[in-house]
Amino acid sequence: MLRIKNLESGYGRLKVLKKVTMHIGAGEIVTIIGANGAGKTSLLRTVSGLIRVRSGEILFDMRDVGNLPPEKIVFRGCSLVPEGRQLFGPMTVRENILLGAYPRFRKKDGDGVRDDIERIYAIFPRLRERERQLAGTLSGGEQQMLAIARALMARPKLIMMDEPSMGLAPLVIKDIFSIITRLREEGNTVLLVEQNAKAALAIADRGYVLETGRIIMEGTAEDLLSNRDVQRAYLGRDLDAEEKM
Amino acid sequence: MLRSGACARSACSRSLHEERTKDLEFFFQYLVAGITYGTIYAIVAIGFNIIYNATGIINFAQGEFVMLGGMTAVTLHRFMPLPAAILGAVVLTTIVGAIIEIAFIRWLRRPSVLRMIVITIALSILIRETALHIWGESVRSLPYFTGSSMTSFQWGGVYVSPQILWVIGIGVFVVAALGAFFNLTMLGRQMRACSANRDAARLCGINAGNMVTLSFMISAAIGALGGCIICPITYVQYDSGTPLAIKGFTVAILGGLGNSTAAVGAGMILGILESFSIWVLPAAYKEVIAISILLLILFVRPSGIFGSAEAARLKDF
């Protein structure tokens, strides 16, 4: 579905991503783990068009989307749930959801949107309760749910999530991750970027490890979970030390 | 009045009574005038706010839209009936607004505030000088929409010109229509989304650049409409945009930048204050009121009387 080859990008003179190559198949949950500043967010921002591609290519559904602006990429079926939610704070919950469905209105699918709003409210009952509230007044967990709901309203083929667990209470994180699993069961493809590597690998099919802008490791989620280096660097366990004890 | 014993007690009290009703009539007369000007100031301020919300910049050429609207309507009125002339003026000014955005604003990437100020001030000078070339220095005016400068309603001793009712009526209509547009239509919501969070709006598939163009067009349109409705009362000249821009800017700041509902309230405050100032101060000081308020607000409460200080801190200026 998504195929990235030797992708490089950055801000100004600073090159953040260096020769990143990866792919995501339909129906998968793929996770990218890595420390702060590894380039995870930059990768998602580049794929969604917010940062320009320096070199390399991004193929989405076999077509190059590397130089499209973000508003065009959404129309191709690739949505981003940005880091830090980025809701329309002074607008109501319902308005946020409606705006997420903007590409569908453009494609004259207004009826489908109405059904989808019901579907979204079934997944996130809290949003129905808060329909008329301003998005900026929601709790952190509710805001994250709304951000996911807004992205889903475009009916993307691929939904990319940037740190959905950031700043949330452990119970809420559990909710969000069970929702992501549920999205996969409903046939969605998810690219999940997380610092919470353990939780991300627990629900993912495959994973990539990003370090200082390079992919240094890739494999199935189980392989990565049991890898010594990954455990030491990202899961907070040192197997070598444990064996010595 | 104190003509000692010569004045009979009853006569004295009658003249006092007459003076009181006269004062009351004056009071309402000034109030009506204040509301009329306040409406125009509010319309100009809303024009500032729409562009400010979409781009974060102050369009100092806003007053020129008002002048262009009035001038174009006067010229068109020679060839066509008044409603068509006003419609034509609004459409033409809207096109000018779009051209300005596409030619001077759109291609700038992340311009600094100072650069935008210089550009919009230059644009206002450019438009003013072009207007001077086209129309000369003469003062022009549209006829009253209904009746003439002589006809007026009388409400309990207060004379109200029919044009004042047109100004207030159209002002109310503009505010209500904009409210409906921004809150109930998908296009209006897209514009609000862009001003709330531009990147997030683009991630929803909204073309943010087009929304900015649209904001310039709407501002130009309501500015031009304001110019047309006030033109029969205040007349229009190539340079009549600048003082209106200053008043509109004062009102926008007074209400809190970006807040159009507050701009209506602030417009009324400035209009009425100005109008009553004639009562106590020489008429020449009328213009001083707006500037004094502007300075006072900028010193004391830059977020505006209706704005929150917290929101103001997040703004560029």
Phi-psi region at B10: left, alpha or beta (left = phi > 0; alpha = psi -120 to 50): alpha
CATH classification of the domain holding A185: 3.40.50.300
Structurally, how many domains does chain B consist of? 1
Q: Enumerate the residues of chain A whose CB falls inside 8 A of the CB of residue B206.
A: 71, 99, 102
Distance from CA of B256 to the nearest CA of A (A): 16
Is the residue at B152 inside a domain?
no
Domain membership of residue B45 as a residue range? 26-145+158-314
The tens place of each residue's pLDDT in chain B, 317 residues long, gives 344 444 455 555 666 777 777 788 888 888 999 999 999 999 999 999 999 988 888 899 999 999 999 999 999 999 999 999 999 999 999 999 999 999 998 888 777 878 888 999 999 999 999 999 999 999 999 999 887 777 777 777 778 888 999 999 999 999 999 999 999 999 999 999 998 999 999 999 999 999 999 999 999 999 999 999 999 998 999 999 999 999 999 999 898 888 888 999 999 999 999 998 888 888 788 788 888 888 888 888 777 777 665 555 555 55
- Inspect the interface and report whether the beta carbons of A71 and B199 lie closer than 8 Å: no
Is the residue at A215 inside a domain?
yes
Backbone phi and psi for residue A79, each to the nearest 5 degrees, phi listed first: -110, 150
Q: Enumerate the residues of chain A whose CB falls inside 8 A of the CB of residue B49.
A: none
Is the residue at B307 inside a domain?
yes
Domain membership of residue A200 as a residue range? 2-87+156-244
Q: Does the pLDDT value for residue A232 go beyond 70?
A: yes
Cα-Cα-Cα-Cα dihedral sign, residues A169, A170, A171, A174 = positive
Q: Which residue has the tokens 């509301």?
A: B35
Report the candidate in A72, A69, A77, A70 with the shortest Cα–Cα distance to residue A24: A77
Q: Which residues 238-277 of B have a C-beta within 8 angstroms of A?
A: none
pLDDT of B289 reads 82
Is pTM beyond 0.90? Reply is no
Residue to test with chain A: of B53, B203, B212, B308, most A Cβ within 10 A: B203
Neighbours of B176 (CB within 10 A): 10
Is the residue at B1 inside a domain?
no
Is the residue at A50 inside a domain?
yes
Chain A: residues touching B (Cβ < 8 Å) = 48-50, 69-71, 74-75, 79-80, 82, 86-91, 95, 98-100, 102-103, 105-106, 150-151, 154
**Residue B203 Cα to chain centre, angstroms:** 35
Distance from CA of B262 to the nearest CA of A (A): 16
- Inspect the interface and report whether the beta carbons of B204 and A105 lie closer than 8 Å: no
N residues, chain A: 245
CA atoms within 13 A on the CB side of B139: 6
Q: Which residues 191-210 of B have a C-beta within 8 angstroms of A?
A: 192-193, 196-197, 199-208
Is residue B223 a contact partner of residue B72, using CB atoms and an 8 Å limit?
no
Q: Does the pLDDT value for residue A245 go beyond 90?
A: no
Report the candidate in A11, A19, A7 with the shortest Cα–Cα distance to residue A56: A7
Is the residue at A175 inside a domain?
yes
CATH classification of the domain holding B288: 1.10.3470
Is the residue at B19 inside a domain?
no
Structurally, how many domains does chain A consist of? 1
Is the residue at A103 inside a domain?
no
- Inspect the interface and report whether the beta carbons of A74 and B205 lie closer than 8 Å: yes
Nearest CA in chain B to A71: B205
A vs B, Cβ pairs < 8 A, gives: 67
